[in-house]
Amino acid sequence: MLDVETKKLDTEILGFIRKYGRDAIHRAHAGQAFQSLAFKIFEYQFRRNLNYQKFCQEAGAWPGALKSWKEIPAMPTTGFKELVLSTFPPRRAVKIFKTSGTTRQNHGAHFFDTLRLYDAAVIPVFKKYLIPGSVDFSFFFLMASPKEDPASSLSYMMGVVNKRFAGGRGKYYALKGDIRGAALLKDLEAAGRKKKVMLCATAFSLKSFLDFLKSKKASLRLKAGSRLMETGGFKGRMKEISKDALYAECEKRLGIKRDFCVSEYGMTELSSQFYDTTLYDHAKGAKRKPFKAGPAWLRTMVIDPRTGREARRGSIGILRHFDLANRGSVMAIQTEDLGRAVGEGFELIGRLPGADLRGCSLNYEEFLARAS
């Protein structure tokens, strides 16, 4: 049960998402509105998330003393593994998404006291970058279902997509860690002749399925306009291949063209997602190199790791995200991902070697030692 203050703030955040989730409204128009709402969420989280409050105090940041949303202290992703970062008691959580790297109780977790904000944030961005138009698809998910993996934010997110765009009729083809390649091949052959296919997969599961097709000397020609949403996920389980090589094999084995392969970028610590602009640009006839883009309620800074300040535009730095839908935890997240600012988004370069945050860590290790 949410208290009155939380309900009021959630209503304001939902209003922002609904207003600026419409493609007709350019995200640039949301500038001042974003900052105003970001300050409200920061003040709320400062008061209610005590570990984050201590972190902000170490950084010398208090509500009312900041001039820009860019000054809101960003918690390193490692904080979710080491600390409880919640604006409410974890026992009141209606959903818990687990991060990797710890087995300690209430650690390595992202707590939610409601899923309304998360659900609302998923739909308009998926539609904009995967379905820029009114098209009916058969949905196939090459990953675990929300029922099988309830602690996975990705599985939950795909469940939201399945319900909204497929009426819950989409099928899942990862069971107990195994890829059900034969079943997916059979179902794709049947569905692909009738209408366009939307295949959502992790890079690991997609590579496994493509290898299965290769071993069977099988290939498909799905209906023109079929598309792929791919979302990383190797994590050391196999030798990583380039995205171009993966998509080339996807076109060869499935008939999904490169312009219809879209890479998603999300994190357990966030409530919103980024997507490559590949398909969106193709639909608009835009001639530019694709980059990662997100909605108006999700902003990114590129941070110089040596200074902890915003890097010069075009320079490679560490990505820092600000997600207004992250009301129940921490809005500002410092990642260990490298990138550079491009257009209204960024180009994802890779991971910071050794994950050494230096200047942008706000002396996190010292803070953690005092907070423990």
Q: Cβ of 368: how many Cβ atoms within 10 Å?
A: 16
SS3 assignment for the chain: CCCHHHHHHHHHHHHHHHHHCCCCCCHHHHHHHHHHHHHHHHHHHHHHCHHHHHHHHHCCCCCCCCCCHHHCCCEECHHHHHCCCCCCCHHHCCEEEECCCCCCCCCCEEEECCCHHHHHHHHHHHHHHHCCCCCCEEEEEECCCCCCCCCCHHHHHHHHHHHHHHCCCCEECEECCEECHHHHHHHHHHHCCCCEEEEEECHHHHHHHHHHHHHCCCCCCCCCCCEEEECCCCCCCCCCCCHHHHHHHHHHHHCCCHHHEEEEECCCCCCCCEEECHHHHHHHCCCCCCCEECCCCEEEEEECCCCCCECCCCCCEEEEEEECCCCCCCCEEEEEEEEEEECCEEEEEEECHHHCCHHHHCCHHHHHHHHC
Among 1.10.760.10, 3.50.50.60, 2.30.38.10, 2.40.160.60, name the CATH number for the domain at 1-108+297-372.
2.30.38.10
Rounded-to-integer distance, Cα 368 and Cα 85, Å: 13
Q: What is the pLDDT of residue 362?
A: 46
Q: Are 188 and 140 in contact (CB under 8 A)?
A: yes
Q: What is the pLDDT of residue 89?
A: 96
Q: Where are the domains of the chain?
A: 1-108+297-372, 117-292
Alpha helices in 84-230 (DSSP H): 116-130, 153-166, 181-191, 203-215
Report the amino acid identity of residue 17: I
Report the amino acid identity of residue 175: L
Kindly report, residue by residue over 44-79, the tens digit of the pLDDT. 999 999 999 999 999 999 999 999 999 999 999 999
CA dihedral 65, 69, 74, 77 (to 10 degrees): 150
Q: Which residues of the chain have pLDDT under 50?
A: 236-238, 356-362, 364, 367
Distance separating the N- and C-terminal Cα atoms of the chain: 30
Domain 117-292: assigned CATH number: 3.40.50.980
Q: What is the pLDDT of residue 357?
A: 44
pTM for the model stands at 0.92
Q: What is the pLDDT of residue 363?
A: 52
Kindly report, residue by residue over 262-272, the tens digit of the pLDDT. 999 999 999 99
Q: Are 108 and 99 in contact (CB under 8 A)?
A: yes
